[in-house]
Structure 1
Amino acid sequence: MAEQAQHSTNRRDFIFVATGAVGAVGAAAVVWPLINQLNPDASTLALASIEFDLSAIPEGQSVTITWRGLPVFVRHRTQAEIDEARAVQIADLKDPQTDEERTKPDHAQWLIMVANCTHLGCVPLGQSGDFDGWFCPCHGSHYDTSGRIRQGPAPTNLVVPPYEFISDTLVQIG
């Protein structure tokens, strides 16, 4: 009789464990689609990053491209613009950032920034303003040759998006 009681206890334990395992798998099968539907769709993921060929931009010129629905300035800076940006006293800036923090070490001639004024989201005009950088005519914000706010109501510098150089002439933004 003791043998039979021991045998039924082991059998009962197995049934409990098996039932719990089947229940856990069933719960995961129900929860997985609910969590997975929170992921972005394929069209959004396609815009997550873009590659752009820099070789067509002559020195001293800039282009505006679109990334994630936002305009992005890509500027091929001259050595004079780089020197001017690096000569600025950091203590004089509203949003202190060095030029080196805003560019990649081996590619200081390339400045890549989201082209939205940090005041109200307008698109600044390039190569204009009091500091020869960008000027937002809507409310009078002036940015220097590194995209740093120097004068006006904008609270912060133009945003530098995440980017990496794939080669000397190809950059991936995002």
Structure 2
Amino acid sequence: MATLEHTDEPNPAEVGESGVRRRDFINIAAVSFAGAGAVAVVFPLVNQMNPSADVLALASIEVDVSKIAEGQAIKTSWRKQPVFIRNLTAKEIAEANAVDPASLRDPATLAERTKEGKQNWLITLGVCTHLGCVPLGAGEGEPRGDFGGYFCPCHGSHYDTAARIRKGPAPLNLHVPDYKFASDTVVQIG
């Protein structure tokens, strides 16, 4: 009676010169092809989450503040949002520093909202923290509210000279974006 012997050795016809079986090559090729296909599908999905070119172009802006007179403010745009840059007078600085921060709805000092040595430059987003309206007070002749800063005409929020909320429905001070002075006359926002 004949017995069948089973061995783990591959059939010599299936093994190439390098010792790799055709089945192993096909498995490696199939997994590689599937991996490349997965990358081809996933890459566009992940890439579409990156910011668009127009947003990247506005990631930071530089503003020349040399022409802003003391007591004057300008409006500019950064990331499609208005930004107020105000050159505070000595009187406005004194008024802001005279307020006890503990008495405010959103406590903050002027020094916390400006850069050291540049306390006269107040830079804030021009977006009311109540419902996102643009407050008045940066333009010539615009009402500045009861506290000499900004006034939001939508629902009556009043901000002081340090852009801190003092009256009205807004819950927070006007937001101070990240900025730095590139020189004595140029500020970089973002």
Matched, 1:5 2:16: no
Q: Which residue number in structure 2 is paired with residue 171 of structure 1?
A: 187
User: C-alpha displacement at 1:84, in angstroms?
Assistant: 2.0
Alignment of 1:30-69 (within 5 A): 30-69=41-80
Deviations 1:65-117 (A, max 9, x none): 11222221100112222222122111110111222221122321111111122
Q: Secondary structure in 1 aligned to 2:10? A: helix
Q: Secondary structure in 2 aligned to 1:125? A: coil
Matched, 1:24 2:40: no
Q: How many positions carry a matched residue from both structures?
A: 174
Cα RMSD between the aligned structures?
A: 2.6
Distance across 1 between alignment mates of 2:49 and 2:167:
41
Residues 10 and 89 of structure 1: CA distance in aligned 2, closer, same or farther (over 3 Å): same
Q: Structure 2 stretches of 5 or more lacking a match?
A: 1-5, 138-142
Q: Which residue number in structure 1 is paired with residue 140 of structure 2?
A: none
Could you tell me which amino acid in structure 1 is paired with residue 110 of structure 2?
Answer: D
Residues 154 and 3 of structure 1: CA distance in aligned 2, closer, same or farther (over 3 Å): closer
Q: Structure 1 stretches of 5 or more lacking a match?
A: none
TM-score by length of 1: 0.85
Distance across 2 between alignment mates of 1:80 and 1:30:
61
Q: Secondary structure in 2 aligned to 1:113? A: strand
User: C-alpha displacement at 1:13, in angstroms?
Assistant: 5.1
Distance across 1 between alignment mates of 2:11 and 2:174:
74
Q: Percent identity over the alignment? A: 58
